[in-house]
Structure 1
Amino acid sequence: MVVIDAWMQHPTLRHLNHEMLESLRRWTGLELAEQAPPVSATVAALAEADVEIGLACAWYGPNEVLISNDEVAEFVAQSDGRLRGVAGADITRPMHAVRELRRAVNELGFVALRLVPWLWQLPPTDRLYYPLYAACVELGIPFCTQVGHTGPLRPSETGRPIPYIDQVALDFPELTIVCGHIGYPWTTEMIAVADKHANVYIDTSAYTAQRYPAELVDYVRGRGRRKVLFGSNYPMITPAKALGHLDELGLDDEARELFLAGNARRVFRL
């Protein structure tokens, strides 16, 4: 079983202990960390679940960088090929953000951009995102984002698939959009948007297989088998835990391979 993890991060101490993640620490039983884990620990967690490639994300937010692109590049370099980089950017400085994205892709070898709208408290239709969408199209990389309610202590409105993802896909039909965290409680909306737009996909990060909504499981089994990617949201959930009840989903061999690796390999051009 070969797996590609479409949403994970190797954390810094700044990321692990940020106040906004207090609710996630409460849910998962994690304590405040005294030091960040070594890259070898992340590699071991991926290997435990046969994860061939983990897409390690940077985290940029207002007035702070929790995981920088250069830190991600260092983690990738230490991972023996197990990690690939996903860039972040400061959307409040549009030209700097575009140049940084181009550097991350062209010089650091990153394979995507990820922006988390709740962190900025701006929906993905805000004009500050649009130069980066155009840059993603030019660079031939996907734009990754979060949909659904917000586990961290920030408002959830920015995670609505309709109208936000729907409108971005209409404005940028050439842009590949990967929507992480399923979209719950708007999962049906998220499926509708993925059906509507050829270049919109869903990843299952932040959920274990036993917690996937029934409508998403039906989608993966059927017409959506080429539209859904596995993600864990490590270190909050390990890939092994996320996949612990995979056999209960009733996926046939084709749907299982596409979900675990085939779709991500195609979408991210791995």
Structure 2
Amino acid sequence: MTVDVWMQHPTARFLRHDMLASLRRWTGGAMPDKDSEVPIEATVASMDAADVDFGLLSAWRGPNGLDLVSNDEVAEWVSRFPDRFAGLATVDLDSPMAAVRELRHRVRDDGFVGLRVVPWLWGLPPTDRRYYPLFAECVELGVPFCTQVGHTGPMRRSETGRPIPYIDEVALDFPELVIVCGHVGYPWTEEMVAVARKHPNVYIDTSAYTTKRLPDELLRFMRTGTGARKVLFGTNYPMIGHQHALHGLDDLGLTDDAVHAYLHGNAVRVFKLTDRATP
């Protein structure tokens, strides 16, 4: 059974945003048309084609009222396909108390399994004080904080994606906080691996990278006992389709146990999906 820990069902306003212009060039037209409303069934079909059983759908929010995929929309899709999806909440960093209450509501009332904030969208690294009440609430709720590391594919500044110092400092300040770092950290992948080795609750997901493009530093880590427990599969769908993301998995030289942990076991443990993402 395979779990995709970073995907989004795209709204038309998400697809139209200028941040995706560079990604459209890279994906060669594989993404949905920017003027279309994509039915949730299309996302389910992409998963089915690659035998991906379960996915975490992300909401997207940025500053100045930028609402690309709302928590309400994610909650609706999850309610329609509860055996296929769980939600990752978004919040408004500029309204700290409202953000904390929104996170609490989504986890307790709608069953969301984590918080995702994309730092480049806000222009704020994870060490900014506006994140810290949310980190405390994630610990209290027992859910991970999910974020992006590495350079920024959209035409935005990349500095906020550095694993060192940002993820390292957050993990030092909040050792109980589970942090899932998406997009492998390239070109600072060695830094990302070092931070994941150092901190028991820091993890890496492979979203935005196909299997054949995973950096060598990450693959070496995945072949170790520690790394086998620390890396989770993700696609960043619809930027990368599920079949495309998984192609070449058998060529990585991973043991059967490591493959199972990568595709399923780590996600179930980290996001507490035992009652949801099980065969």
8 Å Cα contact 2:113/2:143 also seen in 1 = yes
Name the CA distance, whole Å, in 1 between partners of 2:195 and 2:189: 10
1:59 aligned onto 2:63: no
Q: Deviations over 1:117-138 (max 9, x none)?
A: 0000011000001010001000
SS where residue 180 of structure 2 aligns? strand
Q: Which residue of 1 aligns with 2:199?
A: 197
1:39–1:78 Cα contact (<8 Å) kept: no
CA contact (8 A) 1:39 1:79 kept: no
Unaligned segments of structure 2, at least 5 residues: 274-279
Confirm or deny: 8 A CA contact 1:40 1:79 kept in the other structure: no
Query: CA shift at 1:231, angstroms?
Result: 0.2
Unpaired runs of at least 5, structure 1: none
- The alignment status of 1:20 with 2:19, answered yes or no, reads yes
How far the C-alpha of 1:32 sits from its partner, in A, is: 4.4
Deviation by residue 1:143-193 (Cα, 9 ceiling, x = unmatched) = 000000000110000000000000000000000000000000000000000
Tell me if 1:249 matches 2:248. no
Q: Structure 2-normalised TM-score?
A: 0.95
Q: Aligned residue for 1:226?
A: 229
Cα offset, 1:79, TM superposition:
2.3
Please identify runs of 4+ aligned residues in structure 1 that moved more than 3 A: none
Q: Write the deviation string for residues 85-105 of structure 1: whole angstroms up to 9, x where unpaired.
A: 010001110000000001110
Partner in structure 2 of residue 109 of structure 1: 111
1:189 and 1:33 map into 2 onto residues whose CA distance is: 35
Q: Offset at 1:239?
A: 1.4
Letter in 1 for 2:186: Y
For residue 36 of structure 1, report the CA deviation from its aligned partner.
2.0
Take 1:27 and 1:17, find their aligned partners in 2: how far apart are those partners?
Answer: 16
1:97 corresponds to which letter in structure 2? A
Whole-angstrom CA distance in 1 between matches of 2:128 and 2:194: 22
What does residue 121 of structure 2 align with? 119
TM-score (norm 1): 0.98
Aligned counterparts of 1:78 and 1:33: Cα–Cα separation in 2: 24
Partner residue in 1 for 2:78:
76
Where does residue 49 of structure 1 map in the other structure?
Answer: 50
Q: How many residues align?
A: 269
One-letter amino acid of the counterpart of residue 78, structure 2: V
Of stretches 187-196 and 20-29 in structure 1, the one that deviates more from structure 2 is: 20-29
SS in 2 for 1:107: helix
Instruction: Write the distance in 2 (CA, Å) between the matches of 1:221 and 1:29.
Output: 32
Counterpart among 267, 271, 278 of residue 268 in structure 1: 271
**What is the rounded CA distance, in whole Å, between the counterparts of 1:29 and 1:108 in structure 2?**
36
Which whole-Å CA distance do the structure 2 matches of 1:36 and 1:169 have between them?
A: 39
Asked if the contact 2:15/2:35 (under 8 Å) is kept, the reply is no
Once the two structures are superposed, what CA deviation does each residue of 1:192-245 show, in whole Å capped at 9, x if it has no partner?
Answer: 000000000000000000000111111111131000000000000011110001
Matched, 1:97 2:99: yes
Which residue type is aligned with residue 241 of structure 2?
Answer: T
Give the % identical residues. Answer: 65
